Amino acid sequence: MTKRHLKDDKRYWTSENVPLPESKGGRPRVWADLPFDEIKTGTVIGIPLSPEEVDAQVNAIRSHVWRRGKDLGKKYSVRVTDYGIGIWRVE
């Protein structure tokens, strides 16, 4: 069995004096403009999506809504509807 020496390893490379790229600054804010803090109890925010988009995004939207509700001290309910996804403020 032959040992591979670090200098022969081609899985990576190194280079000096390469500038660090700008940071994107965290998670993308896809639903940042939704008015969570403005709606009253019983009000719905409707997000029109196709059934394929709903399947692909419903869990991410639920997570986002839960986090925003926790930050604001409010409760919301997310439901799949005929038009896409509805977000109701419940408390």
What's this model's pTM, rounded to 2 decimal places?
0.69
Domain ranges of the chain: 38-91
Q: Do residues 87 and 78 lie in contact, with contact meaning Cβ atoms separated by under 8 Å?
A: yes
The Cα-based distances of 61 to 2, 14, 29, 58 in angstroms read 51, 40, 11, 5
What is the arithmetic mean of pLDDT over 18-37? 83
For the record, the structure tokens of 43 come out as 């009000």
pLDDT of residue 3: 47
Q: How many CB atoms lie within 10 A of CB 87?
A: 23
pLDDT of residue 31: 83
**Model confidence band, residue 22 (pLDDT cutoffs 50, 70, 90):** confident
Tell me the pairing of strands 84-89 and 44-48: antiparallel
Q: Say yes or no to pLDDT of 2 above 80.
A: no
